[in-house]
Amino acid sequence: MAAVAYTADLKSLDELSARELYDLLRMRVDVFVVEQNCPYPELDGKDIDALHLRLMDGDELIGSTRLLKPYSVEHPVKIGRVVVSPAHRGKRLGEALMKESIAACEKFFPANSIALSAQAHLRRFYESFGFVKTSEEYLEDGIPHIDMVRQLATQPA
């Protein structure tokens, strides 16, 4: 399937319109709660201070991530809630999401490493972006996960 032309934007929660927030939360619930059959607290309080990266095809939300700001320079910025619309899978949007998310992290938090909690079956995908496994496998909401970190280019791996 051919790649989709998209635009990316990065907004705080307060910058999202009510419709944009609805679309974002609906996609996350449709995928993480319904499709993956994983009841968990999607509204966890972390969206309030996060940056929300969205991939858009015109007015349609086709993918998003959540960037959690680091507590300090010693702590990593965290990429989470990586999701592609089911209607747009197979178009390499996961790669686009990660490239855009890493670029945003490096732009706004240049002194911080980048961390994520990956579903274990996606380890190789995240390794292709320079992430390295930093934990043993664990269950999060019934799904096997691993912690991964991408160091700064100037830091030893």
The residue type found at 56 is M
Q: Quick check: is 21 in a domain? A: yes
Q: Quick check: is 63 in a domain? A: yes
Q: Quick check: is 22 in a domain? A: yes
pLDDT, one tens digit per residue, over 98-153 is 999 999 999 999 999 999 999 999 999 999 999 999 999 999 888 899 999 998 76
Which position has the token pair 């993918």?
Answer: 63
Q: Quick check: is 135 in a domain? A: yes
pTM flag (> 0.85)? yes
Q: Quick check: is 1 in a domain? A: no
Cα–Cα separations (whole angstroms), residue 19 to 24, 34, 73, 82, 86:
9, 21, 34, 20, 19
Give the model's pLDDT for residue 147: 97
Total structural domains in the chain? Answer: 1
Beta pairing, strands 114-119 & 51-57? unpaired
pLDDT, one tens digit per residue, over 71-93 is 988 999 999 999 999 999 999 99
Q: Quick check: is 157 in a domain? A: no
Q: Quick check: is 156 in a domain? A: no
pLDDT, one tens digit per residue, over 18-74 is 999 999 999 999 998 888 888 888 889 999 999 999 999 999 999 999 999 999 889
Give the model's pLDDT for residue 152: 77
Instruction: Provide the domain limits for residue 76.
Output: 7-150
pLDDT, one tens digit per residue, over 20-32 is 999 999 999 999 8
Please give the Cα distance from 146 to 117 (Å, whole number).
6
Q: Domain containing 24 — which CATH number? A: 3.40.630.30
Q: Quick check: is 2 in a domain? A: no
